[in-house]
Amino acid sequence: MTGYVEIFEVGPRDGLQNEKREIPVSEKIELVDCLSNAGFKRIECASFVSPKWVPQMAGSGEVLMGIKRANGVRYAALTPNMRGYEDALAAKADEIAVFASASEGFSRANINASIEESLDRFAPILEAARHIDLPVRGYVSCVTDCPFDGPTAPSQVAAVADRLFAMGCYEISLGDTLGKATPDSIARMLLKVRDVIPVGRLAGHFHDTSGRALANIDAALSLGVRVFDAAVGGLGGCPYAPGAAGNVATEAVAAHLERLGYDTGLDMDVINQAAQMARSMRGEQEAHV
């Protein structure tokens, strides 16, 4: 196997949002600055959600304004509403992201809105971003399993992904939020989604709760997916998904892809340095529990 596979680094946002220790802005900036030297094309490092609901994302504007931006790297921010969109613009985010769920139960628990209501909420964000050519990425959560509704129908994932793509999202990241997916359930889901969205516009976002993230990446690779989200040091999880462990670790994904013969363009020495930094953030948190 040969070819390029991109790893989209989400550790500074999706990774840190679930850590219990209050991590200073300076540490977040240090982590992003380290990752900026690793060869990533995209790093998600901010989330303009209410600090009341996700306190770890307080100071996101300060992070974006404080990092040393590397040439060729886009710095992304999550924007759940128009206020978040405006804050992201003020902080000079290079791209933004909106997030929907493929299951009603998770949508209501996560953002207190139905799937349809969440999509309606994103419409003005995507319209505003289109007018200034700001890239918008779309996340779909619970693509195989939901902690409230059980298994997610692949057709439902395809329907939500199709809506986000039609609204203007340049890429759709498909999230195994609980980490319960298997290669078979990932394949069934992707076959449905590929019917409505070109595979080159899809990304995999797999948690390693059950130790199957790399196997699920293999299943997605076999169906043409060439972008995968990962969090350095395996940080993360989801505050609204009980039992969800961390995202699959960037260093594990990069090493796995290299073994398969794919090029990631990443400097493993820098990745390992960043992973050590990320794990120390978690370790300090655990020492205070």
Cβ(228)–Cβ(234) below 8 Å = no
Which residue is associated with the tokens 């595979």?
Answer: 199
* Residue 69 falls inside a structural domain: yes
Residue 269 host element (H or E): helix 268-287
* Residue 62 falls inside a structural domain: yes
Q: Point out the residues that are catalytic.
A: 238
* Residue 1 falls inside a structural domain: no
Q: What CATH number is given to the structural domain containing 217?
A: 3.20.20.70
Q: How many angstroms separate the CA atoms of 259 and 256, rounded?
A: 5
pLDDT for the residue 245: 57
Cβ(212)–Cβ(184) below 8 Å = no
Here the tokens at position 11 are 């550790």
Phi, psi of 130 (to 5 degrees): -60, -35
CA of 15: how far to CAs of 9, 44, 45, 55, 245, in Å? 9, 10, 9, 13, 10
Q: Which domain range does residue 239 map to?
A: 6-287
Residue 20's CB is within 10 A of a number of other CB atoms, namely: 12
Tell me whether strands 145-146 and 136-141 are parallel, antiparallel or unpaired.
unpaired
Q: Which of 99, 113, 133 is nearest to 14 (CA)?
A: 99
Cβ(48)–Cβ(88) below 8 Å = yes
Domain count, the chain: 1
* Residue 187 falls inside a structural domain: yes
pTM score? 0.92
3-state secondary structure of 80: coil
Here the tokens at position 210 are 């059950």
pLDDT per residue rounded down to tens, the chain (289 residues): 579 999 999 998 866 766 677 788 999 999 999 999 999 999 999 999 866 656 566 689 999 999 999 999 999 999 999 999 999 999 999 999 999 999 999 988 877 889 999 999 999 999 999 999 999 999 999 999 999 999 999 999 999 999 999 999 999 999 999 899 999 999 999 999 999 999 999 999 999 988 999 999 999 999 999 999 999 988 765 444 444 457 899 999 999 999 999 999 999 999 999 999 988 887 543 332 2
* Residue 58 falls inside a structural domain: yes
